[in-house]
């Protein structure tokens, strides 16, 4: 990360958020959520103090999706900066604008996460100037007014960033035979990849739902946008994965032997085999 300040701003701080993920987002009754909820409707479990009333038993109550989601710090940014500490309960218009801006801010913060990671890699030095420029431009966008954020061509900006991230990925994977392991967007649902050598693989957008990745080596593998829901990563080497996010880690099933990047937190539901207790609980409401 280029600075501790930026890194900390990209970590979720639910204590300074007005429960935006519990209101602004919709979800459907499924294995991830126990009920249906529309955009703008507060979750029934959201308390008056914007805390979750069932935080310690979300999975047991059927809200596994809540334990997976991560906003990259967009919640507190919108709550405390964009709207200057005014919560959505103050007026319908304020709520409408806040719910519109929140998902846009999350995308911007996600891009900042990726750009920061790419900039921290020595091998990407040839494109560091371009990364710094785009990082600064993206961060500047996050301080726009609600109107400016709502009018932002977020798809266009994501494309511009992605071009540079692709170049960073190529530079990182070049030393690992990445071009020979191009599984971008591949259907690997339930795939048996136990102990697989996936060093330098291009797994961008790959469907790894329920895949067996136990003991797999994913060093320098580009996993941006890869779907790791219920993927078994016990004992897998994810410490040097490229563009791995907290959401992806939260969605997978790992253990104490799974190595993670220092910037990510071991999920509370990853139990150690020896004690059955969590190593580092996730910081959520």
- Domain range summary for the chain, segments of one domain joined by +: 4-25+69-173, 177-285
Residue 177's pLDDT is: 67
pLDDT tens for residues 252-261? 999 999 999 9
> 110: helix, coil or strand?
helix
Q: How far is Cα 4 from Cα 42, in angstroms, rounded to an integer?
A: 33
pLDDT class of 180 with cuts at 50, 70, 90: low
- Ordered DSSP codes for 147-175: HHHHT--HHHHHHHHHHHHHHHHHHHHGG
Element (H, E) at 97: helix 92-119
The pLDDT of 4-14, averaged and rounded, is 86
Residues contacting residue 81 through CB under 8 Å, at least 6 positions apart: 142, 143
Looking at the domain that runs over 177-285, which CATH code has it been given?
2.160.20.80
**Per-residue confidence (pLDDT) for residue 272, from 0 to 100:** 46
Q: Average per-residue pLDDT in the chain?
A: 91
More confidently predicted of 268 and 96: 96
The residue-averaged pLDDT of 270-274 equals: 59
pLDDT in tens, 27-78: 999 988 999 999 999 999 999 999 999 988 999 999 999 999 999 999 999 9
């Amino acid at each position: 990360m280029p600075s501790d300040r930026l890194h900390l701003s990209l970590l979720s701080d639910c204590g300074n958020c007005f429960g935006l993920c519990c209101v602004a987002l919709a979800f459907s009754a499924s294995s991830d959520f126990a009920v249906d909820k529309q955009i703008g409707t507060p979750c029934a479990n959201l308390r008056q103090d914007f805390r979750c009333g069932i935080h310690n038993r979300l999975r047991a109550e059927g809200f596994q999706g809540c334990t997976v989601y991560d906003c990259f710090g967009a919640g507190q940014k919108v709550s405390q900066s964009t709207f200057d500490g005014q919560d959505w309960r103050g007026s319908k218009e304020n709520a409408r604008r806040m719910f519109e801006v929140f998902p846009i801010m999350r995308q911007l913060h996600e891009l900042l996460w990726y750009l920061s990671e790419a900039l921290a890699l020595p091998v990407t030095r040839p494109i560091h100037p371009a990364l710094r420029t785009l990082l600064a431009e993206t961060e500047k966008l996050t301080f726009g007014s609600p109107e400016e954020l709502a009018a932002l061509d977020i798809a266009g900006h994501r494309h511009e960033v992605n071009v540079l991230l692709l170049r960073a990925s190529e530079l990182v994977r070049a030393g690992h035979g990445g071009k020979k392991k191009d599984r971008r967007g591949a259907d690997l649902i339930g795939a048996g990849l136990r102990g697989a050598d996936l060093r330098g693989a291009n797994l961008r957008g790959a469907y790894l739902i329920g895949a067996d990745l136990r003991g797999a080596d994913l060093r320098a593998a580009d996993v941006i946008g890869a779907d790791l829901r219920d993927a078994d990563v016990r004992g897998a080497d994810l410490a040097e994965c490229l563009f791995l996010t907290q959401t992806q880690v939260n969605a997978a099933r790992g253990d104490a032997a799974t190595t993670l990047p220092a910037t990510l937190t071991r999920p509370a539901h990853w139990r150690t085999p020896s004690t059955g207790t969590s190593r580092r609980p996730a910081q959520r409401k």
